[in-house]
A = this chain, B = another copy of it.
Amino acid sequence: MDELVERGVRITRQRRVLISVIQNSPTHLDATALLAIAKQQDSGINLATVYRTLALLKNCGLIDELDLMHLEGEKHYYEAKTSSDHCHLACFGCGAIMEYASPLFEKLKRKIAADSGFRIRVARLELGGLCKQCAKTTA
């Protein structure tokens, strides 16, 4: 939040609510789900504002955008960015989404940057497949 103030971004009532919802959400939210939760605190919030705020936060590097293998439709999901990136494992069998962080992932990013001279601002590693449970079931 202070991040935004420093950048001269105006803190509106709607933005305050949306940011809080995203930061406290235990799950990955799509725009509609985010709106539904935000409305509980500020019933007037509009879907267009949700999208505008998501774009703002994404540009500021405060949230990450995910596909989660489009397990249920073409929408995107969002989560607050944390210090170390984690990757997402999406199970085609049961639809579960798991997270996985590893120093090896950080190392890979550093190596890519070093090898290519690319300055990484966003890193997204998403895997699709079968979770332990489902892999067992499917033989």
A-to-B contact residues, CB < 8 Å: 65, 67, 69-70, 74, 87, 89, 91-92, 98, 100, 102, 104-105, 107-109, 111-112, 115-132, 135
Output the nearest chain B residue to A92 by Cβ-Cβ distance.
Answer: B121
The reply to whether B111 and A108 form a contact with Cβ atoms under 8 Å apart is: no
Q: Which listed residue, B92, B105, B115, B119, touches A130 by the CB 8 Å rule?
A: B119
The reply to whether B89 and A112 form a contact with Cβ atoms under 8 Å apart is: yes
Copies in the complex: 2
| Residues on the B chain within 8 Å of A98, using CB | 116, 118
What is the bound-complex CA distance between A118 and B109, given in angstroms? Answer: 22
| Residues on the B chain within 8 Å of A126, using CB | 123-124
What is the bound-complex CA distance between A70 and B124, given in angstroms? Answer: 13
The reply to whether A125 and B122 form a contact with Cβ atoms under 8 Å apart is: no
Q: Which listed residue, B104, B117, B120, B128, touches A121 by the CB 8 Å rule?
A: B128
The reply to whether B108 and A89 form a contact with Cβ atoms under 8 Å apart is: no
The reply to whether B100 and A104 form a contact with Cβ atoms under 8 Å apart is: no
Q: Which listed residue, B65, B92, B121, touches A129 by the CB 8 Å rule?
A: B121
Q: Which listed residue, B100, B108, B117, B129, touches A122 by the CB 8 Å rule?
A: B129
